[in-house]
Amino acid sequence: MKKLLFWLFFILLVVAAFIYGNMPKIAPYYKQLTKPRVGLNLDLQPKEQKEAHFVGSGKCKECHKEHYHDWKASMHSKMIQVIAKDPKAVVADFSRLPEDADFTLKEAVYTIGGKFKQRYMIPATINGKSDFRLGNYQWNSQTKKWQHFKPYKYWYHDSYPHDNKQFPTSTTCDGCHFTGFMATGKRVEPAIACENCHGPGSKHAEDPNSPVFKASLVDPIRTNEVCFQCHMRNRDKRIETEHATAKELWMTATDYPKGYAPGKPLISYKLPAPFAPGKETKEFWANGAAKKNRTQGNEYIHDRMYQHGITCINCHDPHKLTNTAQKPQGNAACMKCHSFGSIIGPHQDTLEQHTHHKAGSKGSLCIECHMPKTGRHTGKSPLTVRSHRFSFTYPAQTKAYGMPPETNACFACHKDKTLDQLQDDLKKWGNLEWEKLESPHIR
């Protein structure tokens, strides 16, 4: 009897191990992907947090050293830097600053960014209030050149005077670059810190049992909102709620979801930059891929991964910010969920069968085909911004949408061929769906 039980148990164990070993890699995400959706309009900020105020990352550091350390080493902590405190934050060559520049290094208080481009904040009184303005030149870190900067050239060009000295950063930039400014209008801390994603933390810091918002606890569609508040281009919400025109928003047009704090329903504060499939705009190509930076959210909401509950933080550690363009994790970043012949694809049995390139070839890197470079950081920057619209864009689609050929993944590496020839290659491989064989299914 004992022996029989032992063998029964042994067989069960083998079967369990076999099932476990053959589970699709996506299985551990089952709980996340099946979480009930609560609706975009529901306020998820913990009640206790509503009374709290912003305290700054120094306070959080006292108890969360590891998270603080990871965040401090990331680009989020370096977005705004105080020049007086750290002169090395300036990456530009000020000895080459053009003569008609309307600012000097001495006048500049903060640097903005630096990885792709750097801009400078200069104290100014605008509209009778003490504010900041932006220099009329920006440093392009990619081309190592100064170039003109006209911040009023965006959707709000009718809302502000066409003069950098009269153009305030408070309504047009600071909500996304300082901590606390979006929610309270106060620059609690320069750069993007803990409370931009976790909400005000004074009550939690006093009593750790008092909750702060943690995005991963809510439904996955809502999880993304902590990133969407900044990584998604928008319009002033009043254009929708009050039918205001840019002119009517004179000196007040706001380019971030003012009043939003993590957990609150972002939809009540944000009007995303408009896009309709098939129609090219200043910000998007006709297939929905971005022409500019900070459009990750606008693109990602078109993707099936988004719709089925995959979130920004499934691919990016929210504190370290890996994966980034500087530290690509290669195919491992995708293969932690995907596997060949699995339910979510790729639906071929090997890498080479899926990509039709040698396994070690650049042409076998997932992001090269599924995240082609479609955007630029400035009009004069190289094409480096990778699309977060992961579904593959065929050469025939690139052509039919009227997109420049270099935004097509295949063409980016095969500039000696035409889009038509590349489409034919795919046809020969048999890698086309019915609808994409002749007509590139658009509009």
361-420 binders of ligand HEC (CB under 6 A): 361-371, 385-386, 388, 390-392, 409-410, 412-414
- Smallest distance, ligand HEC to C-beta of residue 81, A: 9
Site for ligand HEC in 247-276 (CB under 6 A): 255-256
β-strand pairing of 110-113 with 129-134: unpaired
Examine residue 67 and tell whether it contacts ligand HEC (CB under 6 A). yes
Residue type, 252: T
Nearer Cβ to ligand HEC (118/136): 118
- For 415-428, give the DSSP string: TTS-HHHHHHHHHH
In this chain, which of 103, 120, 300, 401 binds ligand HEC, going by CB under 6 A?
A: 300
Nearer Cβ to ligand HEC (13/325): 325
Nearer Cβ to ligand HEC (42/412): 412
Site for ligand HEC in 173-212 (CB under 6 A): 173, 175-177, 192-198, 201, 204-205, 208, 211-212
β-strand pairing of 178-179 with 145-148: unpaired
Mask 6-45, x = binds ligand HEC (CB under 6 A)? Answer: --------------------x--x----------------
Nearer Cβ to ligand HEC (6/237): 237
| Rounded-to-integer distance, Cα 394 and Cα 439, Å | 11
Span interacting with ligand HEC, options 59-67, 102-110, 157-165, 398-406, rule CB under 6 A = 59-67
| Rounded-to-integer distance, Cα 41 and Cα 270, Å | 12
In this chain, which of 238, 308, 320, 427 binds ligand HEC, going by CB under 6 A?
A: 308
| Rounded-to-integer distance, Cα 21 and Cα 382, Å | 44
| Rounded-to-integer distance, Cα 131 and Cα 181, Å | 13
Nearer Cβ to ligand HEC (276/429): 429
- Smallest distance, ligand HEC to C-beta of residue 279, A: 20
Span interacting with ligand HEC, options 1-9, 92-100, 276-284, 326-334, rule CB under 6 A = 326-334
Span interacting with ligand HEC, options 11-19, 72-80, 95-103, 125-133, rule CB under 6 A = 72-80
| Rounded-to-integer distance, Cα 429 and Cα 353, Å | 9
Nearer Cβ to ligand HEC (14/86): 86
- Smallest distance, ligand HEC to C-beta of residue 4, A: 42
Q: Which helix (H) or strand (E) holds 169?
A: helix 169-172
| Rounded-to-integer distance, Cα 202 and Cα 68, Å | 17
In this chain, which of 1, 5, 19, 62 binds ligand HEC, going by CB under 6 A?
A: 62
For residue 399, report the phi and psi dihedrals to the nearest 5 degrees.
-70, -50
- For 274-311, give the DSSP string: P--TT---SSB-TTS-BSSSS-HHHHHTTSHHHHTT--
Examine residue 127 and tell whether it contacts ligand HEC (CB under 6 A). no
- Smallest distance, ligand HEC to C-beta of residue 9, A: 34
Are 320 and 309 contacting, i.e. CB atoms less than 8 angstroms apart?
A: no
Examine residue 297 and tell whether it contacts ligand HEC (CB under 6 A). yes
Examine residue 304 and tell whether it contacts ligand HEC (CB under 6 A). yes
- Smallest distance, ligand HEC to C-beta of residue 125, A: 18
- Smallest distance, ligand HEC to C-beta of residue 54, A: 8
Residue 280 CB neighbour total at 10 angstroms: 14
List Cβ<8 Å contacts ≥24 apart for 252-256: 252/159, 252/171, 253/156, 253/159, 253/160, 253/171, 253/172, 254/171, 254/172, 254/175, 255/154, 255/156, 255/171, 255/172, 255/173, 255/175, 256/175, 256/176, 256/182, 256/229, 256/230
In this chain, which of 229, 287, 374, 381 binds ligand HEC, going by CB under 6 A?
A: 229
Nearer Cβ to ligand HEC (248/363): 363
- Smallest distance, ligand HEC to C-beta of residue 56, A: 8
